[in-house]
Structure 1
Amino acid sequence: MPLTGRASTAPKGSPAVDASVVGSGPGVTAYGCSEHEERLFRELAPRLGVRSTLTRSPLTAKNLALAAGNRCVSVSHRTPVRGSVLSALSRVGVEYVSTRSIGCNHVDLAVAESVGITVGTVSYSPGSVADYTLMLILMLVRDARSVVSRSAGHDYRLNDVPGRELGDLTVGVIGTGRIGSAVVSRLRGFGCRVLTHDSRPTRHGHPVPLEELLEGSDVVTLHAPLAPDTHHLLDRRRIARMKPGACVVNTGRGALLDTHALVRALEDGHLGGAALDVLEHEDEIFYEDHRGTRIENEVVRRLQAHPNVLLSPHTAYFTDRAVRDMVTNSLLSCLDFESRNPRG
């Protein structure tokens, strides 16, 4: 019989942490569960034969006891997993961390390796981010922020400048993995010219060197993984190589883009707009309600003040299908680790 119930199992002397257990079999502690993820864990864990300890609290030093006795934990991309926490996880017996995301730049991989913890990522529906990317591109080239904002205030005049049709433009796609390739596939339906660049050979779009892509694209969209060699892939020098009036879309990782350089290029008129679903240091701002408070991050304030900048809180992935994929594949990856590494 599946186990269900609520338990407060924080370490002694720490604040109580709400958690629940569902299912039976190999144990997995899932941290930082959204309401939707928690519901899916409750549905899927018993089917897959997994005993899951669930908490909406992010993984911190204060709730490590929830992982005691389990070799595997599942974490959200929204919380950085620092070295000290990984070391403590190792001491309570954790050997595998599954992050419910494609990237793992929020996990200190060097420390994980040093303490014997394996880190695994998951795949999910590439259409979630690809659809959202196309929406942002269309909103930028049609100046939708201005139209929607004025219409909300009952100003129904046309824009001073007409929008552009995507079929008349060149779109540069940097990174042609599963998501970048899905973006390329969708762009073909609009009849636009598509340039692509990837560190690995690719058959998607029209592969060109990065500098050629930047110089020839009206819109540049970022889908490369974040790694030391792609940090600030679009820096001040490369942004300066872009076409005057071009737009940037980032639904990948915030640090692919030098945000300070982007702001300067927008404010001096070199770039025509930007749509950012991810930001550098986004964990300091995103996922919280800041209405009625002042955002201390000056760069974010300057971006919001620009008339053709769209900001959204790392939500491109957030579809029912993608979230189900994340939870399912996180559980399956933990089961796979258990089967490949039986207890001695």
Structure 2
Amino acid sequence: MEKTGITIYGCEKDEAEMFRRYSPRYGVEPTIIKSVVSAETAALASGNCCISVNHKTEIDLSTLRALKENGVAYISTRSIGCNHIDIKAAEKLGITIGNVAYSPASVADYTLMLILMSIRNAKSVLCRADVHDYKLCAVPGRELRDMTVGVLGTGRIGQAVIDRLNGFGCRILSYNLDPQAKAEYVTLGELLRQSDILTLHMPLNADTYHILDRKRIQSMKHGAFVINTARGSLIDTEALIRALENGRLGGAALDVVEGEEGIFYHDCTNKPIHNQLLLRLQKLPNAIITPHTAFYTEHALQDIVENTIQNCLEFERGKR
């Protein structure tokens, strides 16, 4: 039987190993390319109508046109979000876009870790321990059972976070544009006013861009914590920094930051970083920053690889 070819762009070593491991089970021949997709690398997809891309690369009109010229009809992004792809341009060119679902437990577990690190002053504790300062923090930590957690977005990941929070005995409030989960829903205004911790789990689109803006940050409970493992641009970062600096907010733990592209997933040890918002955040004692790594577990990677392959095979079958 003839194998289906898939060109896989921007493939890291761990992903490449999994694609090589699982592709034969599905009768797929992967062409694994380390470089990211672009107008210049589009010709590498020639012969395969299906390609896979990562979530780190912006795919604009020029790249889409080049892919179309090389016979690409389907793009499967190895992410849930598609905001890095010009969807309207793809539609006009007749290119279908697909995303993948993966274990929500990966991001949910990480979210709980960031919540606990925030309310227990983990950044201060670890930094001081590194220089052999073992005194107790000036301010004691807090316990989740005494707090109200607001979950902004109750899709698969938001629901998984709620499931985990239930075991801590805290009060849980939720807000979603389309309430469907088993949760205590309130208005967005009430969520902000009542939550000691606000955790974000919404997709990024025109409706949710800067959903946490200056005005909404000002309406939050004094001393509240903000956790974001979704997309950086859900938050007006400048407004967040000001609220952290002046004590309006108690802290923030961010796995995603506006303008992270070209910085996160790269070794910038000896390179200049021009994202001033990121640099300001990292200097704050009450801000924890991690490089968009919440999804990164073995289980999630397996889900991403297998679902990518299945997406492409389903498109091929439909095309035939």
Q: Give the Cα–Cα distance (whole angstroms) in 1 for the partners of residues 179 and 225 of structure 2.
A: 25
2:135 matches 1:128: no
The corresponding residue for 1:37 is 15
Q: Determine helix, strand or coil for the equivalent of 1:122.
A: coil
Deviations 1:134-163 (A, max 9, x none): 000000000000001101111110001100
Q: Give the Cα–Cα distance (whole angstroms) in 2 for the partners of residues 289 and 52 of structure 1.
A: 28
Check conservation: 2:159, 2:181, Cα contact below 8 A: no
Structure 1 runs of 4+ with >6 Å offset: none
Aligned residues: 320
Deviations 1:180-199 (A, max 9, x none): 00000000000000000011
Of 81, 84, 92, the match for 2:70: 92
Q: Give the Cα–Cα distance (whole angstroms) in 2 for the partners of residues 297 and 180 of structure 1.
A: 29
Check conservation: 1:59, 1:81, Cα contact below 8 A: yes
- Unmatched 5+ residue regions in structure 1? 2-23
The corresponding residue for 2:60 is 82
The corresponding residue for 2:277 is 299
Check conservation: 1:196, 1:204, Cα contact below 8 A: no
Supply the AA of the counterpart residue of 1:179.
I
- Residue 264 of structure 1, CA deviation: 1.1
Q: Determine helix, strand or coil for the equivalent of 2:261.
A: helix
Q: Determine helix, strand or coil for the equivalent of 1:128.
A: helix
Of 148, 165, 183, the match for 1:205: 183
Q: Give the Cα–Cα distance (whole angstroms) in 2 for the partners of residues 65 and 290 of structure 1.
A: 30
Check conservation: 2:149, 2:195, Cα contact below 8 A: yes
Q: Determine helix, strand or coil for the equivalent of 1:179.
A: helix
CA distance change for structure 1 residues 293 and 52 in 2, over 3 Å: closer, same or farther? closer
Q: Give the 5 Å matches for 1:241-320.
A: 241-320=219-298
* Percent identity of equivalent pairs: 55
Of 122, 134, 145, the match for 1:167: 145
Deviates more, 1:194-203 or 1:314-323: 194-203
2:36 matches 1:58: yes
Q: Give the 5 Å matches for 1:119-158.
A: 119-158=97-136
The corresponding residue for 1:28 is 6
2:208 matches 1:230: yes
Check conservation: 1:248, 1:275, Cα contact below 8 A: yes
Q: Determine helix, strand or coil for the equivalent of 2:23.
A: helix
The corresponding residue for 1:9 is none
Check conservation: 2:104, 2:156, Cα contact below 8 A: yes
TM-score in terms of structure 1 length: 0.91
The corresponding residue for 1:321 is 299
Q: Determine helix, strand or coil for the equivalent of 1:65.
A: helix
Q: Give the Cα–Cα distance (whole angstroms) in 2 for the partners of residues 119 and 296 of structure 1.
A: 32
TM-score in terms of structure 2 length: 0.98
Check conservation: 1:184, 1:204, Cα contact below 8 A: no
Q: Give the Cα–Cα distance (whole angstroms) in 2 for the partners of residues 88 and 293 of structure 1.
A: 31
Supply the AA of the counterpart residue of 1:80.
E
RMSD: 1.1
Q: Give the Cα–Cα distance (whole angstroms) in 1 for the partners of residues 70 and 12 of structure 2.
A: 25
Q: Give the Cα–Cα distance (whole angstroms) in 1 for the partners of residues 278 and 44 of structure 2.
A: 36
